[in-house]
Structure 1
């Protein structure tokens, strides 16, 4: 615009009174300057366009006060309590065989949501997780998570502060594999997640909950700090419990990234709302497993 300004100034000077021509010219120049500066720069970190890359970016977004109602809850989720000063894995000595964790010892009225595999990639679940500020942990299997939209989908959930943990490369029954093949499954996914996210995950979940001593040895050798199982499993409308017929403080809840085909027509968001309603009815809220383990 600077190279054409003299010619434009001359035209305005001939056609209009001096004062008005100066005002119009100033407005044109200002508009061009603002248009140039409003063009967004490409992401510097190589992240996909439109995908938030940090939990702080997500937290800064306004959350509608009635989000809980729009998603089908009868009341808001109670806030997660402050996490403990020390996590379980902080107290483990180097070289310790990773403990198997089904629940967390805590006096907090909390349970922990975990989602496995990565088959269903419902964009509505991303929206719901963001609006409800829902804390959970993802245990991803590489060949399942890579299908379709791939890890980019889970990057969006991770940007909300939810960690990605290890669930093997191909989801085998580890007890049927040799120690070396188990190591390949566990360490292989550790390496892939470390390459993508910059660190080896500290938590590992064996497919089907099946493991043996060779599994624990392989996991420990791959940098795993704890092997995570569960005390409750989410079905479609409600949960099944390993201890009695109810949740207990610190229980780990197993769910999956599943869609209408697996859920008999129910969406993943509806399944999760059913789970949250049951958790609330039993007097609990949810917290992030990674903050405790």
Structure 2
């Protein structure tokens, strides 16, 4: 299928400069994580050995950002070794000043003439970034929380109440670490087989539960199995949903599955996986992260935060 990509903006010289600095910093950190600039202090305005003090403004801001990326990559390199990754995950570029316009993917429409939340599998971007999303909430592996925090890999969680209700606190810890929690219905039912009112209970009641538990009403919603109809989107919109991200690839501990015919990643692709463990998989959640990050990194992509773009 042809992906819909609209309103792609031309890169300005400053944008190119940011990306160049980012790339150099990310590559340099993998080889020389220990380097850092000497402080300006008692040596005066020019610092040690007469070197000029960095000037304030855009150049200084870029330098500070590059140093931040460098430090982050050094920390990631250490975490990657600890968690058994063969390569350090790449650094994502800074989020855009304005989010891209997202439209429903061609072939995923339900009805013409209605303004409904867009359904998409890929975010329209040019950068080599992808987005990681994890569904349902059945497995509550504490190693996942620690691993993702130490690797500083962003991800988004789409939660179903029937599997998270035995341990809401696990997902509060996740939220406290910067993860956004979104709606995956109360009971993970096949929505097109339900009436409007039944779908309303599944979607809107989960909106309310998540807001009561975690203090924020989700903007994003993923229908179970990726199945929906016009009522699904109308109900979701009625209780605060603004977008419906599906997926372009799915990750398991031992392999990847692809939606696209070329069996590959593309800029802006959304990757799906699940909160699962050894009881259902040939591996743990950290095993799954190792697999998906090996694939993403080997293909030259970084993982970015979905909510910065949607």
- Would you call these one fold, judging by a TM-score over 0.5? yes
Deviations 1:24-80 (A, max 9, x none): xxxxxxxxxxxxxxxxxxxxxxxxxxxxxxxxxxxx9x9575111111112221112
Deviations 1:134-153 (A, max 9, x none): 10000000111112xx1211
195-204 vs 62-71, greater mean Cα deviation: 62-71
**Which among 101, 111, 136 is matched to residue 117 of structure 1?**
136
Q: Which residue of 2 aligns with 1:38?
A: none
- Which structure would you say has the larger Rg? 1
Instruction: Find out whether 1:239 has 2:256 as its counterpart.
Output: yes
Q: Which residue of 2 aligns with 1:66?
A: 78
Deviations 1:257-281 (A, max 9, x none): 00001113x1110111111001111
Q: Which residue of 1 aligns with 2:243?
A: 226
Kindly indicate whether the alpha-carbon contact (under 8 Å) linking 2:100 and 2:125 is maintained by their aligned counterparts in 1: no
Runs of 4+ residues deviating >3 angstroms: 62-65, 88-91
Q: Which residue of 1 aligns with 2:9?
A: none
Q: Which residue of 2 aligns with 1:57?
A: none
Q: Which residue of 1 aligns with 2:228?
A: 211
Which ranges in structure 1 are unaligned for 5 or more consecutive residues? 1-59
Kindly indicate whether the alpha-carbon contact (under 8 Å) linking 2:76 and 2:89 is maintained by their aligned counterparts in 1: no
SS at 1:182 equivalent: helix
Distance 1:257 1:239 in 2: 16
Q: Which residue of 1 aligns with 2:90?
A: 78
Deviations 1:106-143 (A, max 9, x none): 01111100000000001111110111011000000011
Q: Which residue of 2 aligns with 1:184?
A: 201
Distance 2:138 2:244 in 1: 22
- Taking structure 2 as the reference length, the TM-score comes to 0.70
Kindly indicate whether the alpha-carbon contact (under 8 Å) linking 1:238 and 1:278 is maintained by their aligned counterparts in 2: no
Q: Which residue of 1 aligns with 2:147?
A: 128
Q: Which residue of 1 aligns with 2:273?
A: 255
Deviation of 1:88 (Å): 4.7
Which ranges in structure 2 are unaligned for 5 or more consecutive residues? 1-71, 104-113
Q: Which residue of 2 aligns with 1:46?
A: none
Q: Which residue of 2 aligns with 1:269?
A: 286
Kindly indicate whether the alpha-carbon contact (under 8 Å) linking 1:129 and 1:157 is maintained by their aligned counterparts in 2: no
Distance 1:169 1:180 in 2: 14
Distance 1:210 1:114 in 2: 17
Kindly indicate whether the alpha-carbon contact (under 8 Å) linking 1:114 and 1:138 is maintained by their aligned counterparts in 2: yes
Q: 1:86 to 1:227 in 2, by over 3 A?
A: same
Kindly indicate whether the alpha-carbon contact (under 8 Å) linking 1:89 and 1:225 is maintained by their aligned counterparts in 2: no
Superposition map of 1:52-201 within 5 A: 63=75, 65-88=77-100, 96-147=115-166, 150-201=167-218
Deviation of 1:155 (Å): 1.5
Deviation of 1:86 (Å): 2.2
